[in-house]
Amino acid sequence: MSLRSRFALAFAVVAAVVSATVGVLSYSFASERITAEIDRSLRDTTVALANGQDQVPGSVLALAPRPGPHRDDGERYEMTAQAVARDGTVRHLGGVAVPLPVSDVARALAASAAPGRTHTAEVVVGGHCYRQLTTALGQGRGALQVAIHIDPANRLLGGLRNEVAVLCLAVMLAAAAMGWLVAGRITRRLVRLARVAEDVSVHDLADREVRVDGSDEVGRLSAAFNTMLGRLAAAREDQERLVEDAAHELRTPLTSLRTNTSVLRRYTDLSPDARDRLLDDVEGEARELSHLADELVELALARYNDEDEAPVELAAVAHRAAERLRRRTGRPVRIDADDSVVRGRRQRLERAISNLLENAAKFDDDGTEPIEVRIRQGTITVSDRGPGMKPDDEARVFDRFYRADTARGLPGSGLGLAIVRDVAEAHGGAVFARARPGGGATVGFTVGGSRLSPPE
C-alpha cells in the first residue's frame, strides 16, 4: 500500500471513529430523552388516577414534532389504563381499549401491601409495542397499569439511527477523499525525493538535486538530502583524488624497490660498500612505504573516527605531543599556553599537534633553537628556525602529497599537514602557514570559537 493510500485510509478511519462516536452519543441522548418523556407521562397519569381522576387521555404529545409542513403538530402517542385487582382481574379505566397483559410481577404488585412500588416493561399487544408502568396502590387496593403506544418513538429512533449511519458513511468518504488530496500534495515531494534516491543508487551522483519546496519537514528533508548528495559527491571526488595521489606517490618507492630487487640478484658480485648502500636504500624505501601506508590509513579513517567529543585542555595535549617528540628526536620544545579548553576529540587534536612538531623538527635539523608552541584562545601555533617558506608554498603545504622544493630530499609523504587540516576543519577551525620573521616558518591551526569553553 502506498503512502498516499495510507494517508487516505487514516483520514477515513479517524473521521469514521469521530462521526460514529458523535452519532452514537446523539442517538443515546435522543433515546433517553424520548424514554424519559414517555415515563414522565406514565407517572403523571398514574398519579392522577390514584388521586381519583376518572378520565384517561386517549393520547399524549410526543417530545419530538413531526417533520414537514406541520412541524408544530407533534406525534401523538396512544395511551390506555386499567386497574388490576388483588385476584388478578382487570378493569379498563380509559384511553384506547387495549387489553394489557398482566404478568406475575403485576399480580405481585397488586397483592402487595406496600404502596408506590412500580415496575416498567415493554409489552407487545396486537402487533404493537407499548411501554407499560405498573404501580402498587397498597392496602389491598390492587395496582394501576398505564401504557403508551411507542411504535412512533421506535420509528423515530430507527430513522435517526439510519440518518446517523448515512452521515457517518458520508463523512468517512469525504474524509477519505480529502485525505487522498492532501496526501497527494504531501507525498508528491516525497515521491520526487524517492525517485532521485533511486537514480542515485543506480547512476552517478553528479548533477543530482531535489527541488526544495517550502520550509516544512518535507522541505527540510529535501534540503538535507541535497546536502547529503553534495557531501557524497565530494567524498567520491576526494576518494578518487586520494587514490590517484596515493598511486602516484607509491609509484616512486615501488619502482626503486623493483630496481633494487633486480640488483639483489647479483648480490654476490657487489662490493661490500655497494651491498651496504643497497641494503640501506631498500630499508629506507621500505620504511617510507610503511610510513606512507600508515598516514594513508590515518587520513582515510580520520573522518570516521568514533572517538567521543569531550572537553580537551590544549596545553595538556601539547605537552604530551612535545614529550613524545623529545623521546624520539631529543629536540627541545618550549610551550607557551593559556588555559584554553575546547570541546573536541583528544586523540585527533594530539595527532595534529604531533604532526606540526614533527614537521618543524624535520625542517629545523640544526637543533640549537627549541621548537616553540604557542596556544592562545584555541589557536595552536608551532614555530621553527628552519629554511622558511616561500609565498607560493604557504597556500599549498596542507594539500595532500604536496612537497615543497626544500622538502624533496627529506623523508615524509606529504600527508602530515593534510591530516592537520582535516582535524582543524572537523573542529570548526582552519589552518595557516607563513614565514617566520628572522627565518623559519610558523604553521598552525585554529579551533572554532563555538567549541571554546569559558575559563573556570
One-letter amino acid of 225 = F
| Domain architecture of the chain: domains with CATH | 1-56+77-200 (no CATH), 204-304 (1.10.287.130), 307-451 (3.30.565.10)
The neighbour count for residue 35, using CB atoms within 10 Å, is 16
Computed from CA positions of residues 311, 316, 317, 320, in that sequence, does the dihedral angle turn out positive or negative?
Answer: negative
Q: Is 29 exposed, middle or buried (0-12, 13-18, 19+ CB in 10 A)?
A: exposed
pLDDT in tens, 106-136: 888 888 878 888 899 988 988 889 899 999 8
pLDDT given at position 64: 45
pLDDT at 288 over 50: yes
Rounded Cα distance, 100 and 82, in Å: 8
For residue 432, give the H/E element and its range: strand 431-435
Calculate the alpha carbon distances from 13 to 8, 9, 22, 161, 163 in Å. 9, 6, 14, 20, 19
Helices 314-329, 346-363: inter-axial angle, 10-degree rounding: 40
Rounded Cα distance, 15 and 176, in Å: 8
Q: What are phi and psi of 154, to 5 degrees?
A: -65, -40
pLDDT at 177 over 70: yes
CA neighbor of 389 nearest in space, from 352, 425, 357, 364: 364
- Among 8-17, 53-62, 117-126, 164-173, name the one with the lowest average pLDDT: 53-62
Average pLDDT, the chain: 78
pLDDT at 282 over 60: yes
State the cell numbers at 222. 529535501
The neighbour count for residue 445, using CB atoms within 10 Å, is 26
Q: Is 249 exposed, middle or buried (0-12, 13-18, 19+ CB in 10 A)?
A: buried
pLDDT at 71 over 50: no
Contacts 24+ apart (CB under 8 A), 362-371: 362/407, 362/410, 362/411, 362/412, 363/387, 363/406, 363/407, 363/410, 363/441, 364/440, 367/330, 367/331, 370/331, 370/332, 370/333, 370/334, 371/325, 371/331, 371/332, 371/333, 371/334
Q: Largest alpha-carbon pair distance within the chain?
A: 149
Rounded Cα distance, 161 and 290, in Å: 86
pLDDT at 69 over 50: no
- Among 58-62, 143-147, 307-311, name the one with the lowest average pLDDT: 58-62
Please name every residue paired with 123 in a beta bridge, in sequence order, or none if there are none.
130
Mean pLDDT calculated for residue range 241-250:
63
pLDDT given at position 59: 55
Mean pLDDT calculated for residue range 216-229:
73
The neighbour count for residue 289, using CB atoms within 10 Å, is 17
Q: In what order do the strands lie in the sheet with 333-337?
A: 333-337, 371-376, 379-383, 441-446, 431-435
SS3 128: strand
Q: What angle do CA 139, 140, 142 make, to 5 degrees?
A: 115
Rounded Cα distance, 9 and 16, in Å: 10
| Tally of helices (H runs) and strands (E runs) in the chain | 9, 14
